[in-house]
């Protein structure tokens, strides 16, 4: 046993014979004494190996690769708190440039072409952006109701198979979430379904550009047109919010003619995750409004900033500035053409994988990587007679380090289990080729009647 005296490290000791290395790490209470940083660093590196390899995590939409310049900027910005607009005015300026760049990318009526600044802000991710955009919808609806002398106590939000952030928004801010069931054969909300769900208490409709489950786009323009018709026929003026967490950084580059953004007058606000296909490091999202009228003034707090006025809108207070600086770096470094090339390469690779999966035999493709996100998804054609499940296949692939999730579709289609692979910046063609080989080998193994019966792996979306 070491006493307190002996646990003072010998500077010449090997990393793995230092006192802290020779026992399990403290897990419930802080140790009494300090330990050498290089030893603790190495021990934590070893522990983190158990997390698996982010590059082989084909379940996540989020950035898992960064170049050295991004790492250096993140390091440089370690001490910058983005909320201190007067202490770090240039970081605030860079955030504002990013908002304007996105407003122009998404065709906001204000933005680069206008003297007026675009209306928007950075957030920690799409979830915070969704909360802010949802609150703006709720505030505007309440103002309309009060002005009309009507009750404003039962707001609802209409959407399809949304990501969990909208369920959070509804619960945290006391709004009824009216989730429209997915019709057989469909992968998201469809325009013709809206009428049964929208009423005078609807604060807005959410359309998703890049449904989490299937990676397809909901038909935003058709949904907008249906809401236009509804207004003509009934007088109900229901705003549309687009959850473009993934698609907001894909569609402008790969599907420039698709009208899903502020080109549609019905679209009041848009959120996107800079840390997904925006390619910025984890921890940045964006919320943009079409114009000042779409963002109620009383949601904005005003901070003095170099003698001027800096409006702020956020759920959190302190937040790192590096992700926003890295986002601006990526805008400048890649430009529109760079983003297009990166995403096109990913889409080509996803389509390449989809073709191979289709040829493997047991699968039916649900999404082949064309028209929406760079991804592929499939299901077992005949689960009853295959003798193994997609969960078994996920387990087999996990033995080689691949994280390929299997999960049921949202309610009303939950009997369909699917498998999904996302191809993003840093996932290369050869890697996907190796995955396909491992899939063929795993199928052969499973067909011989060796389903791996370990627990199902977790899936986070």
Ligand X SMILES: *Cc1c(COP(=O)(O)O)cnc(C)c1O
Nearer to ligand X, 21 or 273 (CB): 273
- Whole-angstrom distance, CA of residue 454 vs CA of residue 335: 46
Rounded to whole angstroms, how far apart are CA atoms 265 and 294? Answer: 12
Tell which positions 220-259 bind ligand X, by CB under 6 A: 243, 245-246
Residue 212 in the binding site for ligand X (CB under 6 A)? yes
List the one residue from 19, 61, 188, 223 that touches ligand X (CB under 6 A): 61
Among 126, 269, 396, 406, binds ligand X (CB under 6 A): 126
Smaller CB distance to ligand X: residue 127 or 349?
127
Which is it for strands 119-123 and 285-289: parallel, antiparallel or unpaired?
Answer: antiparallel
Contact between 285 and ligand X per CB under 6 A = yes
Nearer to ligand X by C-beta: 201 or 212? 212
Q: What does the alpha-carbon distance between residue 348 and residue 435 come to, in Å, rounded to a whole number?
A: 16
Nearest approach, Cβ of residue 127 and ligand X (Å) = 3
Size of the site for ligand X (CB under 6 A): 14
* 218 near ligand X (CB under 6 A): no
* Residue placing its CB nearer to ligand X in the complex, 315 or 434: 315
Nearer to ligand X by C-beta: 101 or 272?
A: 272
**CB-nearer residue toward ligand X: 100 or 212:** 212
Query: Segment 134-193, which members bind ligand X (CB under 6 A)?
Result: 163, 165
Q: Burial level of 216, CB count in 10 A (0-12/13-18/19+)?
A: buried
- Answer for which of 19, 111, 120, 125 binds ligand X (CB under 6 A) is 125
Among 100, 122, 127, 377, binds ligand X (CB under 6 A): 127
Handedness of CA 345, 350, 353, 359 (dihedral sign): negative
Q: How many CB atoms lie within 10 A of CB 138?
A: 21
Q: Min. distance of Cβ 78 from ligand X in angstroms?
A: 21
* Binding residues vs ligand X (CB under 6 A): 61, 125-127, 163, 165, 208, 210, 212, 243, 245-246, 273, 285
């Amino acid at each position: 046993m070491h006493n307190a005296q002996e646990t003072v490290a010998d500077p010449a000791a090997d990393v793995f014979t230092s006192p802290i290395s020779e026992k399990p790490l403290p897990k419930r209470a802080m140790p009494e004494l300090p330990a050498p940083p290089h030893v603790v660093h190495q021990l934590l590196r070893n522990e983190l190996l158990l997390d698996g390899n982010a590059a082989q995590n084909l379940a996540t939409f989020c950035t898992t690769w960064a170049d050295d310049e991004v790492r250096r900027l993140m390091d440089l910005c370690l001490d910058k708190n983005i909320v201190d607009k007067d202490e770090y005015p240039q970081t605030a300026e860079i955030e504002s440039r990013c908002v304007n760049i996105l407003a122009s990318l998404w065709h906001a009526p204000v933005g680069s072409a206008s003297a007026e600044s675009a209306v928007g802000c950075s957030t920690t991710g799409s979830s915070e952006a969704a909360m802010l955009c949802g609150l703006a919808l709720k505030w505007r609806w309440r103002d309309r109701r009060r002005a009309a002398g009507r009750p404003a106590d039962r707001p609802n939000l209409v959407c399809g198979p949304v990501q969990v952030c909208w369920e959070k928004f509804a619960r945290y801010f006391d709004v009824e979430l009216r989730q429209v069931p997915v019709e057989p054969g469909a992968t998201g909300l469809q325009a013709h379904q809206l009428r049964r769900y929208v009423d005078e208490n609807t604060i807005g409709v959410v359309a998703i550009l890049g449904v989490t489950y299937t990676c397809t786009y909901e038909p935003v323009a058709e949904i907008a047109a249906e809401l236009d018709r509804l207004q003509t026929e009934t007088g109900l003026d229901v705003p549309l919010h687009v959850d473009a967490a993934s698609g907001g950084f894909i569609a402008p580059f790969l599907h420039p003619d698709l009208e899903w953004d502020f080109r549609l007058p019905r679209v009041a606000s848009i959120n996107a995750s800079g840390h997904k296909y925006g390619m910025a490091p984890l921890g940045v999202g964006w919320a943009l409004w079409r114009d000042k009228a779409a963002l109620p003034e009383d949601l904005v707090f005003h901070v003095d900033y170099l003698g001027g006025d800096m409006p702020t809108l956020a759920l959190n207070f302190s937040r790192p500035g590096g992700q926003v600086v890295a986002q601006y770096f990526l805008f400048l470094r890649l430009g529109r053409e760079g983003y297009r090339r990166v995403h096109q390469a990913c889409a080509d690779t996803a389509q390449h994988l989809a073709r191979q999966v289709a040829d493997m035999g047991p699968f039916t493709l649900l999404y082949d990587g064309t028209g929406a996100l760079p991804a592929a998804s499939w299901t077992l054609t005949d689960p009853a007679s295959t003798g193994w499940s997609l969960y078994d296949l996920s387990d087999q692939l996990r033995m080689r380090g691949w994280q390929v999730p299997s999960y049921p579709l949202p309610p009303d289609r939950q009997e369909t289990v699917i498998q999904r692979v996302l191809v993003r910046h840093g996932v290369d063609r050869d890697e996907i080729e190796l995955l396909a080989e491992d899939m063929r080998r795993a199928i052969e193994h499973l067909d011989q009647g060796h389903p791996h019966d370990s627990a199902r792996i977790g899936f986070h979306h």
